[in-house]
């Protein structure tokens, strides 16, 4: 009777928020193959999907194992090239309202309609998407770097980054050169050629100055790299051959300089090139400079995503990032979505990547502006977003794929952590139809339930070679309970919440169980009250 009275009184105090009896799915985002839904958000409100007593499994059965916690995520995004920044800056000047709508759609993390992209790669100096070739010190043989000038980069690059930071405080900026200054290279030009080893210390200081220059602009880098695609030399745009031993030497010197100059928390990420050499260059880099590099990054242009495992097996304590892939105009929208999810936004994460990035964030409708004479994107390259001179813009398939992944990993609370990947498996008669990743996001307030999320690709779109998109009735198993949801052909993101250690725990050495009730709020279930039951 006493226990019942306590419960009744406590429940009366919570009339403003419904009690959560068990885990429930409230939040769903969907992008479907025929584009009837494009990152469409649904709040199930008073009719959530409940986790109930387990029964028969669906055609597919997703089993979430939150006891196996894997890598912490850094986020998803793209590269802000000079060209991307220029177009965005022009859009801001001529069409400010549309500009801020786009920036929020891409990067703002809290509104359910926005993607919350949180990882931005930024070239140090010119790339194949710059107006001209430049470095931060083009004075020949200036080994003292007296003429280093961060303002050789266009002002709109910095202002655009600051605008993005203003809507997403979690933004990670990853700096990376496409080439050292021409005078540090055997070719005497930033377009192709090889790095001269004797400039290793000078180049490390050059990169430190770049970090300092960005910091002076109000941008503290999350990470820096030594060289984009160090095994690529192309005479039509900034590129450079830098061997693993050279990169190791530069990285070791740079790490020491960074630690002595206030950048001990900034990571050095190596390689930044294709999957096919995952067991060679990146491994050699760690053999020579293990303590200098936090990890390595991969691109999609050769090899396969599973080759990331080769590096992970050799160095399981080092981090893996996926940092570049591009679409091209003229490809099929739905086929691209499937490939991106299978290989990057599900696949790369399955193979231990902390990030998933596309190439250009923004270009125009012809894949420009591009460095004059560059042949890097002949088809041409398609950006995440096409921006037009009249202020209109088009979100491409790259956006919808990465938005689904991003929504699963962004922090739930202000100042909170990004999600961690957790183990998941798929069974059932049509297990092949689903590609799935699962995540848990910790909370700032220990009274709040953890957020769990799934990113699911249903690619069951043909039957014996005949086009036949088929939704898949799926059970989701979690902590001995089961929910049921039918996934449309497309990409779906789900959220639900669960307590960290269950709703009951027995106090050691006492016959008392401390139990909690939970209230559903717009921030997820919150621990609302507790009562004690004494056993006799």
pLDDT tens, residue by residue, 23-73? 899 999 999 999 999 999 999 998 999 999 999 999 999 999 999 999 999
pLDDT tens readout for residues 122-144:
999 999 999 999 999 999 999 99
Residue 58 sits in a domain of what CATH number?
A: 2.60.40.1180
Measured CA to CA, the distance from residue 354 to residue 80 in angstroms comes to: 19
Q: Would the pTM of this model clear 0.95, i.e. be above it?
A: no
Please indicate, yes or no, whether residues 210 and 233 belong to a single structural domain of this protein: yes
Tens-place pLDDT, residues 464-498:
999 999 999 999 999 999 999 999 999 999 999 99
Q: How many CB atoms lie within 10 A of CB 259?
A: 12
Looking at the domain assignment, is residue 457 inside a domain?
yes
Same domain, 432 and 289: no
Q: Is residue 312 part of a domain?
A: yes
- Could you tell me what percent of the chain has a pLDDT over 90? 88
What DSSP character marks residue 331?
A: S
Note whether 188 and 235 are same-domain residues.
yes
Residues 62 and 93 in one domain: no
469 within some domain: yes
> 482 and 361 share a domain?
no
Ramachandran bin of 197, using left for φ above 0, alpha for ψ from -120 to 50, beta for the remaining angles: alpha
Same domain, 105 and 42: no
- What's the pLDDT at 523? 52
- Show which of 376, 409, 442 is a domain's final residue: 409
Provide the pLDDT for residue 446.
Answer: 87
The CA angle 101-104-107, to the nearest 5 degrees, is: 150
**Can you give the residue range of the structural domain that contains 123?**
75-409
Between helix 82-94 and helix 96-107 the angle, nearest 10°, is 130
pLDDT band for position 379 (cuts 50, 70, 90): confident
Are 241 and 196 spatial neighbours (Cβ–Cβ below 8 Å)? Answer: no
CA distance 148 to 51: 60
Question: Model confidence over 77-104: pLDDT tens digits?
Answer: 999 999 999 999 999 999 999 999 999 9
**Same structural domain, 274 and 206:** yes
At residue 400, the 3 state secondary structure works out as: helix
Distance CA 272, CA 281 (A): 10
Average pLDDT of the chain is 92
Number of domains the chain contains: 2
CA dihedral 244, 245, 250, 252 (to 10 degrees): 100
Among 138, 137, 125, residue whose Cα is nearest residue 81: 125
301 and 442 part of one domain: no
210-247 pLDDT per residue, tens: 999 999 999 999 999 999 999 999 999 999 999 999 99
Q: Is residue 84 part of a domain?
A: yes
Q: Label residue 532 by pLDDT band (50, 70, 90).
A: very low
Strand-pair partners of 440? 420, 452
225 and 194 inside one domain? yes
> Quick one: pLDDT at residue 175?
99
Tens-digit pLDDT profile for residues 356-376? 999 999 999 999 999 999 999
Query: Is 287 within the bounds of a domain?
Result: yes
Residue 521 lies in a domain: no
Q: pLDDT tens digits for 254-294?
A: 999 999 999 999 999 999 999 999 999 999 999 999 999 99
Which of these three, 391, 409, 427, is where a domain ends? 409
With a pLDDT cut of 70, the percent of the chain lying above it is 89
Residues 30 and 56 in one domain: yes
CA–CA gap between residue 417 and residue 398 (Å, rounded): 25
- Tell me the CATH number at 172: 3.20.20.80
Shared domain for 103 and 172, answered yes or no, is: yes
The C-alpha atoms of residue 433 and residue 149 are separated, in whole angstroms, by 53
**HSE of 285, CA atoms in CB hemisphere, 13 A:** 34
- As a whole number, mean pLDDT of residues 392-400 equals 99
Assess if residue 7 is contained within a domain: no
Torsion, CA 120, CA 175, CA 158, CA 381, rounded to 10: -60
- At residue 525 the predicted structure's pLDDT band, cuts being 50, 70 and 90, is low
Per-residue pLDDT at 184? 99
Whether residues 102 and 204 share a domain: the answer is yes
Residue 451 in any domain: the answer is yes
């Amino acid at each position: 009777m006493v226990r019942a009275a306590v419960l009744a009184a406590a429940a009366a105090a919570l009339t403003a928020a419904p009690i959560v009896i068990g885990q429930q799915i409230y939040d769903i985002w969907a992008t479907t193959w025929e584009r009837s839904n494009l990152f469409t958000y649904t709040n199930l409100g008073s009719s959530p999907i409940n986790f109930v007593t387990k029964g028969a499994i669906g055609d597919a059965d997703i089993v979430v194992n939150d006891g196996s916690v894997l890598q912490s995520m850094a986020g998803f995004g793209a590269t802000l090239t000079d060209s991307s920044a220029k177009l965005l800056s022009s859009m801001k000047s001529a069409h400010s309202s549309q500009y801020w709508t786009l920036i929020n759609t891409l990067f703002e993390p809290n509104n359910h309609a926005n993607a919350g992209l949180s990882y931005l790669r930024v070239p140090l100096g010119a790339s194949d998407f710059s107006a001209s070739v430049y470095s931060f010190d083009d004075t020949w043989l200036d080994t003292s770097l007296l003429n280093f000038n961060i303002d050789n980069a266009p002002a709109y690059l910095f202002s655009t980054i600051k605008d993005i930071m203003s809507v997403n405080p979690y933004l990670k900026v990853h700096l990376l050169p496409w080439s050292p200054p021409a005078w540090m290279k055997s070719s005497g030009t930033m377009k192709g050629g090889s790095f001269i080893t004797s400039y290793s210390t000078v180049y490390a200081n050059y990169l430190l100055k770049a970090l300092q220059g960005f910091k002076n602009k109000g941008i503290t880098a999350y990470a820096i790299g030594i060289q984009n695609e160090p095994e690529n030399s192309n005479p039509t745009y900034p590129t450079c051959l830098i061997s693993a031993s050279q990169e190791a030497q530069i990285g070791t010197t740079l790490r020491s300089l960074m630690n002595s100059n206030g950048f001990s928390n900034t990571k050095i990420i190596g390689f930044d090139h294709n999957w096919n050499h995952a067991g060679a260059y990146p491994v050699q880099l760690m053999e020579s400079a293990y303590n200098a590099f936090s990890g390595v990054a991969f691109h999609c242009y050769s090899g396969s995503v599973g080759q990331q495992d080769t590096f992970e097996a050799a160095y399981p304590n080092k981090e893996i990032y996926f940092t570049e892939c591009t679409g091209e105009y003229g490809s099929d929208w739905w086929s691209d979505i499937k490939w991106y999810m299978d290989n990057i936004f599900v696949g790369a994460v399955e193979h231990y990547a902390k990030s998933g990035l596309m190439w250009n964030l923004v270009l125009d409708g012809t894949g420009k502006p591009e460095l004059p004479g560059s042949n890097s994107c002949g088809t041409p390259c398609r950006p995440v977003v096409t921006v037009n001179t009249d202020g209109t813009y088009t979100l491409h398939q790259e956006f919808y794929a990465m938005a689904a992944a991003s929504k699963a990993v962004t922090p739930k609370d202000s100042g909170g952590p990004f999600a961690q990947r957790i183990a998941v498996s798929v069974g059932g008669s049509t297990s092949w139809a689903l590609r799935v990743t699962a995540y848990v996001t910790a909370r700032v307030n220990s009274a709040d339930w953890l957020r769990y999320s799934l990113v699911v690709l249903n690619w069951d779109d043909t039957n014996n070679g005949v086009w036949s998109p088929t939704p898949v009735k799926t059970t989701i198993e979690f902590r001995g309970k089961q929910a049921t949801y039918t996934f449309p052909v497309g990409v779906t993101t789900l959220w639900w919440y669960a307590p960290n250690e269950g709703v009951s725990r027995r106090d050691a050495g006492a016959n008392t169980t401390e139990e909690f009730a939970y209230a559903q709020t717009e921030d997820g279930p919150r621990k609302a009250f507790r009562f004690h039951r004494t056993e006799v």
